[in-house]
Copies of this chain bind each other. A is one copy, B any other.
Amino acid sequence: MASPPQKTYDIYATLPAQIAVRIGQAIVENEFKPGQKLREVDLAAAFGVSRASVREALRAVEREGLVTILPQRGAQVTALSVEEVQDIFEIRAHLMGLACHRLAGALPADKTAELERLLEALQRALKDGDAYARASLAISEFCVRHAGSRRLADLILSFGRQTARYTRLSLSTPERRRQSSANWSKLVKAILAGDASEAERASRQLVLDTRDTALQLLTQDS
């Protein structure tokens, strides 16, 4: 049989889920700016659905931390303080360490080629900031999704989306991309070698380096 024995449930089946994805994308891609108010009536009109669907979608996006909903006051795109950005990066660094610790040595043999391919793609994208950010997200997602915990993966990726704009900022210079790429190289090497401790250390460093650069740029700009 080609179809799996257990029925698959399409997460995107309901209308609010689809709306939530679109709202989330708009925020991550900086189309909706931090602090911007998101009125239910406007969104309902824009997407051609009722307010109830938009309402449920906004709650879903709130769960990802991308919007903040205040009672009687509506939703707005989450505006993080510098301290909160630092906090999120630090939590993500620890969770990423746990994920890569688990991943090291546990990666199925038929998946090692893909990991190496993703690393090569990353190194080929060194000269383009946007392309590098996408490649970095791709290899991150691969590692996290193969660490054996759906829960942990969702958590890490959610934190990643909340600080996506700052990660992009951090990867805007060639030097930083080279540093990031070198970190990834060390991490992949440790994973393939089955060195869990080194994988944990390297993955943490990877995220913390990104945090440091982003914070440096943030504090000197504004």
> Hey, which bits of chain A sit against chain B, CB under 8 A?
9-11, 13-14, 17, 52, 55-56, 59-60, 63, 70-73, 84, 87-88, 90-91, 94-95, 97-98, 149, 151-152, 155
- Stoichiometry (number of copies): 2
Contact pick for A94, options B56, B72, B73, B95, CB 8 Å: B95
List the B residue with the shortest CB-CB distance to A60. Answer: B59
Task: Give A97 to B59 CA distance when docked, in angstroms.
Answer: 30
What DSSP secondary structure best describes chain A's contact surface? Answer: helix
Task: Give A70 to B14 CA distance when docked, in angstroms.
Answer: 10
Complex contact B98–A9 (CB within 8 A): no
Task: Give A91 to B95 CA distance when docked, in angstroms.
Answer: 8
Task: Give A151 to B84 CA distance when docked, in angstroms.
Answer: 9
CB distance from A108 to the nearest CB of B (A): 17
CB distance from A134 to the nearest CB of B (A): 26
